[in-house]
Structure 1
Amino acid sequence: MGDQNITSHEPPQNWEQLYIEYASLLYNYGCKITSQKSLIEDCVHDVFVNLLKAPQCATTINNPKAYLFKSFRRLLINKLKTDTRSQELVLDRGGEAYQFNIELSSEAYRIIEENNDEQRKKIAEAIRQLSPRQKEAIYLKFYENQSYEEVAGIMKIEKSALYSMIYKSLAQLRRALSPILSTKTSAGYYFSLFASGLLLLV
C-alpha cells in the first residue's frame, strides 16, 4: 500500500502548510512511541525535508494527514530498531520494535469524580493491559479520528485485522471496567470518553 494512495478527505496542500498543521501532531504521536524527544524531532524534520526535496509530492498527496503519519511512523520505528542504546523497545509479533503509551488526560480526570482515586486507577490499569498495537490503533481511530482504512495504512495491517483488533481491545476494556461501569447511568459512559479522545493523553 503506497503512502500516497490513501483515500483523500482534504485538498492538496504545500509543504509549508502541512508543517504548520501537522508537525505538532506528529511530535505528539512520536511521544507515545518513545521518550527520546530528540529522535522524534529528527524524524519530524526528516519527513518535511523529504517533502521539500520533492515539492511536487506535497501538492499531489491524496490524504496529507494519513500520508505524514505513515511516513513519520516508518521513519521513527526504523530508527528505533537500529538504536542499540534504546532500552524501551518492545518487539511485537509483527516484528516491529516500539512501545505505545496512552494515559488518562487531565480532562478525563476532571470528568471522573475528583475524589474517586480507585476508578482512575482501574481505568489506567485497564489501558496499561492493552498491547502497544492495540493502544496505537485506539489512539489513531478515536483520538486522531482516522478512518479504519487510514489506520490500517498507517500501521501496515489489513483492514479486517484492524477491525478485529479494535473490537477485541474494546471488549477487553469493557471486561476490565465492568465493575465501575455499573456506577454510571449509562454502561457506555467511559466508551463515549474514548470516542471523544478524553481518556487519552493529549
Structure 2
Amino acid sequence: MSRRLPSEEAHQLWQEYRAGDMYALARIMQSYYADLFHWGMRLHPDREFVKDCIQEIFLNLWKQQGTANVVDNVRAYLLVVLKTRILRDLARQHTTHQASLSDEYAFSVEFAADVQWIEEENEVYQIRKLERVINHLPDRQKELIYLRFYQNLSFEQIADVMHLGRQSVYNLLQKSLTSLRKNWTVSSIAFLFLQLAVYSIRYTVFGG
C-alpha cells in the first residue's frame, strides 16, 4: 500500500489533476484510500457501503477534472466529501434532512488495526482502555479526538471537517481531555495519543 502523501506533495498532485493529469488523481487515491476507509468505518459500519462511497467520490472527481475545486488540504477535503456522502445516506435512512443529522450521527473509535504493531502487552492493554474510555465520550468529542490524534489534522482542518468554528474545536477538545484526565494523567494521555499517531502512520504505509 502506498505511503501517506505529505500535504505539500498532495497539493501539487491535486494541481496536476486539475490540469488534466489522471495519473495524479490515481496517486492521491492510492495514498489516501486507507485513511478514507478507516474514517468511513467510524461513521458507517457497512464495509462494502464505505468502499462504494469512496469509489463514487473518485469516479466523480475523474469526471470533474476540468471543474474540480481548488483546495488547501487534499486529505481534509476528501474526508469532508466522504462524510457528506455517508451522512446523506444516513439522512435518507432516517427520512429527514442531512442538516438535522449533523450533530446526531453515531461515531465509534476502534484501534483494532493498530494494536497489531504493538509488541508490549501492557501497551495493548492501555490502548484498549483508552479506546473504551473514548467511546464513552459524546460522539462529537470522539470524532474530534480521532481527527486530531489519528488523522493528525490541524485545528483549522478539523473545523472544516466538523463544520465548526476554530474556537469551538478548542473548547470541545478541552472538554474531551478533561473527561479523559479522570482516568489518566496528562503525561499518560499524551504518550498514548503519540503512540496512536505513530501506529496510524505505520498502518497507512504498510496496510492492515
State the TM-score, normalizing by the size of structure 1: 0.74
- Larger fraction in helix: 2
> Given that residues 80 and 160 in structure 2 are in contact (C-alpha distance below 8 angstroms), is that contact kept between their aligned partners in structure 1?
yes
For the pair 1:141 / 2:148, whether they are aligned, the reply is yes
For the pair 1:173 / 2:183, whether they are aligned, the reply is no
- The separation in 2 between residues aligned to 1:41 and 1:21, in whole angstroms, is 15
- The separation in 2 between residues aligned to 1:82 and 1:162, in whole angstroms, is 28
Counterpart amino acid of 2:171? S
Corresponding residue SS for 2:42: helix
Of residues 95, 99, 115, the one that matches 1:106 is 115
- The separation in 1 between residues aligned to 2:199 and 2:163, in whole angstroms, is 22
The offset of 1:39, in angstroms, is 1.7
- The separation in 2 between residues aligned to 1:19 and 1:51, in whole angstroms, is 10
> Given that residues 148 and 162 in structure 1 are in contact (C-alpha distance below 8 angstroms), is that contact kept between their aligned partners in structure 2?
yes
| Long gaps (5+) in structure 2 | 1-6, 18-24, 204-208
Aligned residue in 2 for 1:188: 187
The 5-angstrom pairing of residues 1-202 of structure 1 reads 9=8, 10-13=11-14, 14=17, 15-57=25-67, 60-84=70-94, 95-104=102-111, 105-106=114-115, 110-111=119-120, 113=122, 122-175=129-182, 177-178=183-184, 181=185, 187-197=186-196
Q: What does the per-residue CA deviation read over 1:78-121, in whole Å, with 9 as the maximum and x for residues that have no partner?
A: 11121259xxxxx998744422111344169644627x96x666
Aligned residue in 2 for 1:4: none
Q: Aligned pairs, how many?
A: 180
| Long gaps (5+) in structure 1 | 1-7, 86-90, 182-186
> Given that residues 149 and 197 in structure 2 are in contact (C-alpha distance below 8 angstroms), is that contact kept between their aligned partners in structure 1?
no
Counterpart amino acid of 2:148? K
- The separation in 1 between residues aligned to 2:128 and 2:33, in whole angstroms, is 32
> Given that residues 152 and 159 in structure 1 are in contact (C-alpha distance below 8 angstroms), is that contact kept between their aligned partners in structure 2?
yes
- The separation in 2 between residues aligned to 1:199 and 1:131, in whole angstroms, is 25
Counterpart amino acid of 1:54? Q
- The separation in 2 between residues aligned to 1:167 and 1:84, in whole angstroms, is 32
Corresponding residue SS for 2:196: coil
Question: Over the residues paired in the alignment, what is the CA RMSD in angstroms?
Answer: 3.2
Identity over aligned pairs, percent: 26
> Given that residues 103 and 200 in structure 1 are in contact (C-alpha distance below 8 angstroms), is that contact kept between their aligned partners in structure 2?
no
Aligned residue in 2 for 1:5: none
Q: What does the per-residue CA deviation read over 1:113-170, in whole Å, with 9 as the maximum and x for residues that have no partner?
A: 27x96x6665343212111111111111111111100011011111110111111101
